Structure 1
Amino acid sequence: MVKTNHLHQNDSELYHDPVSYRQLVGRLLYLTNTRLDITFVVQQLMQFMVVPTVLHHKAMTRVLRYIKGTPGQGLLYSPTSTIQIKGFSDSDWATCPDTRKSISGYSMFLGDSLVSWKSKKQNTVSRSSSEAEYRALAIASCEIQWLIYLLNDFQVLYKHPALLYCDNNSARYIAANAVFHECTKHVEIDCHVIRERLNNKLLHLLPISTSAQVADIMTKPLEPTLFKNNLSKLGVINIHLPA
Structure 2
Amino acid sequence: MTKPDITYTVQVLSQFMHKPKESHMLVAIRVIRYIKNAPGLGLFMSSTTSHQLFSYCDSDWVACPQSRKSVTGYMIKFGSSLISWKSKKQETISRSSTEAEFRSMASTVAELSWLTGMFKELGVSIVQPIDLHYDSKVVIQITTNPIFHE
What's the TM-score, normalizing by structure 1?
Answer: 0.57
- The structural deviation recorded for 1:55 is 1.0
For 1:154, give the aligned amino acid: L
- SS of corresponding position for 1:42: helix
Does the aligned pair in 1 maintain the 2:53–2:126 contact within 8 Å?
no
Moved over 6 A (4+): none
Aligned with 1:139 (options 107, 118, 121): 107
Does the aligned pair in 2 maintain the 1:166–1:172 contact within 8 Å?
no
For 2:23, give the aligned amino acid: L
Aligned with 1:83 (options 41, 51, 54): 51
Does the aligned pair in 1 maintain the 2:51–2:127 contact within 8 Å?
no
For 1:94, give the aligned amino acid: V
- Structure 2, unaligned runs of 5 or more: none
1:174 and 2:142 equivalent? yes
1:130 and 2:103 equivalent? no
- The structural deviation recorded for 1:109 is 0.6
Aligned to 1:63: 31
Structure 1 residues 10-29: aligned runs within 5 Å: none
- SS of corresponding position for 2:73: strand
- Structure 1, unaligned runs of 5 or more: 1-31, 182-243
For 2:95, give the aligned amino acid: R
In 1, the alpha carbon distance for the partners of 2:60 and 2:13 equals 17
Cα shift readout 1:155-178 (whole Å, capped 9, x = no counterpart): 012251101001001123333444
For 1:85, give the aligned amino acid: L
What's the TM-score, normalizing by structure 2?
Answer: 0.89
In 2, the alpha carbon distance for the partners of 1:159 and 1:71 equals 34
Aligned to 2:80: 112
- The structural deviation recorded for 1:72 is 4.3
Does the aligned pair in 1 maintain the 2:59–2:73 contact within 8 Å?
yes
In 1, the alpha carbon distance for the partners of 2:65 and 2:16 equals 13
In 2, the alpha carbon distance for the partners of 1:86 and 1:46 equals 30
1:45 and 2:13 equivalent? yes
Aligned to 1:73: 41
Give the paired residue count.
Answer: 149
For 2:138, give the aligned amino acid: S
